[in-house]
Amino acid sequence: MAAVRCAYPRPVAALWGSSRRADGLRSHRYGAKVWGGLFTNGPIARSVRDAALMLDVMAGAPRPAQSFQSAIERRPNKLRLATLNRSALGPIEADTLASFETACAAFRAMGHQLEPVDVDPAARLSECFGSVVAASIAAVPFKDSELIDPIVRVFYEAGKKMSAPQYVGALLEMHNTSRAIVQSLMPYDALLTPTLARPAMLIGELPSAAPACPSGFR
């Protein structure tokens, strides 16, 4: 099951990004170790074709048997696609749902099979994900912690209070839950889901106040 997504702020900037760990691409040593595997290498581009070109540049050695550029020239067979348009973490605004349904309709028109799933990875990973992020931020050697963004500070301070057993437990939970989620999605070729729960926010619209809890990635 391949996962391709675009995360903030890429959708705000109308950029296309792939966070798939492609064959031949190695994750950064610091990100893979300190952030528990949350980091992966991938391009940010304005088109799939440009992203494929960058993936070929990043592939290094040994290179994949087939280049990413040549792969996009091949029309895929009929795909079985999972769709997810809701989460227990909060509502998804109507404009976002409308855009998502438009995209799904385009895949159906191309002959692909779409099936809704009730997996909700975000809700299942929220607590352990927040703990791993907090500990990872706390491990960063800030010269002046007073300059840390107020929202980031909540995670920084929570991570400083975390014990080694708590961190290891959160990391194991995140990895085991992720494996269970991937296993449930194995019958599908890809998962389609909205990037954001609402239309992209304007610059300056993001809150500057601290969230209510360290695991509050909402």
The span from the CA of 73 to the CA of 69, in Å, is: 7
pTM here is 0.71
Residue 83 three-state SS: strand
Which helix (H) or strand (E) segment is 77 a member of?
Answer: none
Cβ(44)–Cβ(15) under 8 Å? yes
The pair of three-digit structure tokens given for residue 74, joined into one six-digit string = 């091949």
Please give, one letter per residue, the 3-state secondary structure of 84-105. CCCECCECCCHHHHHHHHHHHH
Q: Which residues pair with 87 in a beta bridge?
A: 90
The span from the CA of 218 to the CA of 206, in Å, is: 12
Cβ(129)–Cβ(217) under 8 Å? yes
- Domain ranges for the chain, please list them: 1-74, 77-218
Tens digits of pLDDT across the chain (218 residues): 444 444 444 444 444 444 444 444 544 443 445 578 777 777 888 888 998 999 888 877 777 788 888 988 888 789 999 999 999 888 999 999 999 999 999 999 999 999 999 999 989 999 999 999 999 999 988 888 888 888 888 899 999 999 999 999 999 999 999 999 999 999 999 999 998 888 877 877 776 665 555 544 44
CA quadruple 85, 120, 175, 7: dihedral positive or negative? positive
